[in-house]
Amino acid sequence: MNQRYKITIEYDGTNFFGFQRQPHLRTVEGVLHSVVNKLSKTSEDIIVYGSGRTDAGVHAHGQVVHFDLPNFIPAENLRLALNSMFPLDMAVKKVELVSNDFHARFSTKGKKYRYIVSTSSFVDPFKRNYTGHYKYPVDIKKIRNAIPYLIGKHDFTSLVASGSQAKSNVRTIYSITVKNKDKENELIFDFYGSGFLYKQIRIMVALLLEIGNGKRDADSVPQLLAVKDRRLARRTAPASGLYLEEVIY
C-alpha cells in the first residue's frame, strides 16, 4: 500500500520558469519530480501533484504538493532528505502523512496570496526580485474604497489573463487587505479566496494601484466586472511581487 505525503514548500521563484514541468526548463515541479524520484528508489514514476501553478518569478512561502511513495518514510526523515537534496532556492517547511483521499489540488478550500509593492522612486536593488515596483503616488484610502467591490462571489472574466484554462471564471474572494509599510516604502496586499484565476491577483493589484493613483475611480469596479471584458483592465503587476502564502484544506 502506498503512503501519501503532503509537503509544504517555499521557493524563491526568481530562477524558476514557473511551477509546471516543462521540457528543458528549470521549474519547481520539474525539480520536485526529479528529487522525489531519486529518493524513492523504485522503477515506477512517482508523480508530484501541486495545489496549482505559479508563474515564472512568482514566489511561495506555502505551496503544497502531494505524492505517493511505495516505501514508508517517517515524516521527519523525509523532510531532512528532501531538504538535503533540494537546490538552495527551495525548501521544505512541513511533511505530513495523509490518507489517500487527500489531493493537493482537488482538496483545496482556499488560498492566501500576498503581493508586495515597492513605492520608492527607483527600484531598490535588494527588492528588485521580491517586490513589484510602482513609482507613482498612491492614496491608500482610494484603494480601500475599491476593495469591497472585489470581495464576494463574482464572475472575474474582466480580470483574468488570456490563456486561462478554467471552465468557469466565478470565484469567491473572502478578504483583501492593504497596509502601508511607510518605513520600507512598501504597500502590502493580502488576498484570501476560494481560488484565483490565471494572473487574477496581479491584474487586481495593477487595477487597485491605478485606482490609488487616481487614474480610475473606485466605484468603476462593479461596471468593470459586469462587462466581462479583459480589455478594460489591461495591466498586470510584475510576477516578482507575488507570494503564494498558504493553501487551505
Q: How many CB atoms lie within 10 A of CB 12?
A: 16
Stretch that binds a copy of itself, among 36-44, 120-128, 210-218, 230-238 (CB under 8 A): 120-128
Complex with a copy of itself: residue 12 or 155, whichever CB lies closer? 12
User: Taking the complex as a whole, how short is the minimal distance between the CB of residue 89 and a copy of itself, in angstroms?
Assistant: 5
Subset of 35-64 contacting a copy of itself (CB under 8 A) = 59
Complex with a copy of itself: residue 11 or 113, whichever CB lies closer? 11
Complex with a copy of itself: residue 12 or 68, whichever CB lies closer? 12
* CA–CA dist 73, 16 (Å, integer): 28
Burial, 20: exposed, middle or buried (Cβ in 10 Å; 0-12, 13-18, 19+)? middle
* CA–CA dist 167, 85 (Å, integer): 37
To the query of whether residue 55 is one of the catalytic residues in this protein, the response is yes
Of the residues 55, 68, 101, 124, which is catalytic?
55
**Should residue 1 be labelled a site residue for a copy of itself when binding is judged by CB under 8 A?**
no
Q: Which helix (H) or strand (E) holds 148?
A: helix 140-150
Q: Which helix (H) or strand (E) holds 81?
A: helix 75-85
CA 156 to chain centre: 17
Q: Name the residue with cell 528508489.
A: 41
Chosen residue from 128, 179, 181, 235 binding a copy of itself by CB under 8 A: 128
Chosen residue from 17, 49, 102, 130 binding a copy of itself by CB under 8 A: 130
**Should residue 125 be labelled a site residue for a copy of itself when binding is judged by CB under 8 A?**
yes
Q: Would you say 113 is a known binding-site residue?
A: yes
**Should residue 91 be labelled a site residue for a copy of itself when binding is judged by CB under 8 A?**
yes
* CA–CA dist 238, 236 (Å, integer): 6
User: Strand 3-11 and strand 170-181: pairing?
Assistant: unpaired
Chosen residue from 40, 68, 89, 149 binding a copy of itself by CB under 8 A: 89
Active-site positions read 55
